[in-house]
Amino acid sequence: MMHLVALRHSHPPRSAEYPLGPMEYARLGRTALKVSRLCLGTMNFGPHTTEADSFKIMDRALELGINFFDTANVYGWKRGEGITEQIIGRYLAQGGGRRDKIVLATKVFGTMSDWPNHSHLSALHIRRACEESLRRLQTDHLDLYQMHHVDREAPWDEIWQAMETLVAQGKVVYVGSSNFAGWHIAQANEAARARHFLGLVSEQSLYNLIDRTIELEVIPACQAYGLGLIPWSPLKGGVLGGLKKADEGRRTGDLQQRTITKHRSKLEAFDAFCAQLGHAPADVALAWTLHNPVVTAPIVGPRTMDHLEGAVRALEIELDEGALKKLDEIFPGPGGPAPEAYAW
């Protein structure tokens, strides 16, 4: 059985290029690939952030040393158009070494049209979707190609055959998963092992102080198989950004407001504790995800430049055992890994 290799951080020299401190880098799971400890999420590019502002955010991310960019073929939320991928493609087309500096990740699974075989993980759709993402992103390869969801109807031999073909063609370098259960990770990587294929190297999961279910099965599976964990929504859609900002941005949405109402007492305690620490709630919430050795890079999805600049501050926060214990008291997890969490 494969085991997670300890993350190794490397630091660029301090200079004016890194005014908020040096970026940290880590190996993505068991691979030799080095990525920044923050991943730039691009889901807001198009629907909430203009193309011009998206370009500025991506340029600033590179200036800050963020080299890990994540997107998906369905982002932009106009079926089949891949609007966010198109924006990134036009950004990369400007040249200036942008593509070579970026570890570019996108995803496949979502419905791209009402026509049969234009969704999920058939070999046909995987290969077609890859070609379409390459065209929109204006690149000849994807550094990390992620399955956006498990497809329970697709045999693993079919999926891996398609991925092996893309790797052999030089169109994909690494393969990852997103929203997989722990047993899906095991099933996928055992099938890949039988084919002498590298298999999954990363898992992108919902993970934050409020949503900690993956501590039961997914995180142990990532540890066992050497997958880097890439948490999405580390701020719970902005809810963990502080109650003082509860009426700003995404927090005004129905889902966020229901979450705030449900967890208000915990959020009030969290805000008070962050004030004691002397750090913004959003920075503490990000720092909490970063303290877990399985986590490679939480995804930060800025709508504005200020959101991006703020996220980098989390790298400067060291949470000691006392702080971690207090956060566990405020936001209790499931009790650790299964089965001990519920059996003994």
Q: Would you please indicate which residues are annotated as catalytic (active-site) residues?
A: 75
Hey, which bits of the chain come out as E strands? 25-27, 34-36, 39-41, 68-70, 103-108, 142-147, 172-178, 200-206, 228-232, 299-300
- Token pair, residue 76, equals 């932009």
Rounded Cα gap, residues 75 and 157, in angstroms = 28
Do you find a cis peptide bond into 339, omega within 30 degrees of 0? yes
- Please write down the HEC assignment for all residues of 58-110: HHHHHHCCCCEEECCCCCCCCCCCCHHHHHHHHHHCCCCCHHHHCEEEEEECC
Going by C-alpha positions, the residue among 139, 127, 23, 43 that lies closest to residue 91 is 139
